[in-house]
Amino acid sequence: MYIMTVMVKRIKTTKTNPSSVGDNSIEAFEEQQERLRLEKYTRLVDNGIEAIKRADDIIILRFQKMIEPSTLQRSIGQVIRIKTKEGEFMYFDEILSGTDSLGNFHNASRRVGMEQLPIVRARKEINPKTAEPEVVDVSVIGVEDRYFIPFSKQNFDLLRPYLTDFVSLVVKETGNATCYSGFTIDEFMECDFDELLRIGKYGRVSDREYKRRVELAKKNAEGGVIVADHVSSE
């Protein structure tokens, strides 16, 4: 949630190209996530909107200040593949843990590879004194989903040492935001996106059974006769 009030404070940050990561490593992905987080708040402040930090951002910043860097450990419990008009990307949910200078344990979680940047709209009116347009109101009208880790076997391999034993591998279908899971690591890495969608929707079936299920789904959508589903023995 963003709270909108007028203010003059400005956050100084370095803006980078969000569609690329220079040195491919999990640390580089995390650094890019930090830059996007700063851009998110800078967009608001630059438009005179007070940027109240989200709770999850506050927690991760506090965690980073408390722990000794040498004790940092990470584990990844979920990886998501998504295909947009810009290309195919992935993002992941990680749990960070470590100890402070007194040996106390701390942990925090965050999502890396995706950020929701606010879309800001300004309303202008003509100033009767100057006869010039000026901004009289600004508001957040939505968010822009920004992805920056291209999906590839090489990039996924960077995450593998940190995957938990029960990691959830998810394919997210754009448009209706439907998600499918239950894939093996090999399937997730080797299959193309459409093939994973097919497995997620219809299961690991033969081409003949796949076509039958597609036709059945079309009939159901069109209000046709519903035929009992079954798995082909072929």
- pLDDT at residue 224, rounded to an integer: 52
| pLDDT by 10-residue block (mean), the chain, 234 residues | 33 34 78 89 77 80 94 96 94 96 95 89 82 78 90 95 95 84 93 91 76 75 54 38
Question: In Å, how far from its chain's centre is CA 86?
Answer: 14
3-class SS at 72? coil
Instruction: Please enumerate in sequence order all residues whose Cβ is within 8 A of that of 222, keeping only pairs 6 or more positions apart, or say none.
Output: none
Alpha carbons 86 and 163: distance in angstroms, whole number? 27
pTM beyond cutoff 0.85: no
CA distances to 68, 165, 217 from 224, in Å: 63, 43, 10
- pLDDT at residue 10, rounded to an integer: 29
- pLDDT at residue 188, rounded to an integer: 95
- pLDDT at residue 205, rounded to an integer: 73
- pLDDT at residue 52, rounded to an integer: 67
4: phi then psi, degrees, rounded to nearest 5: -105, 110
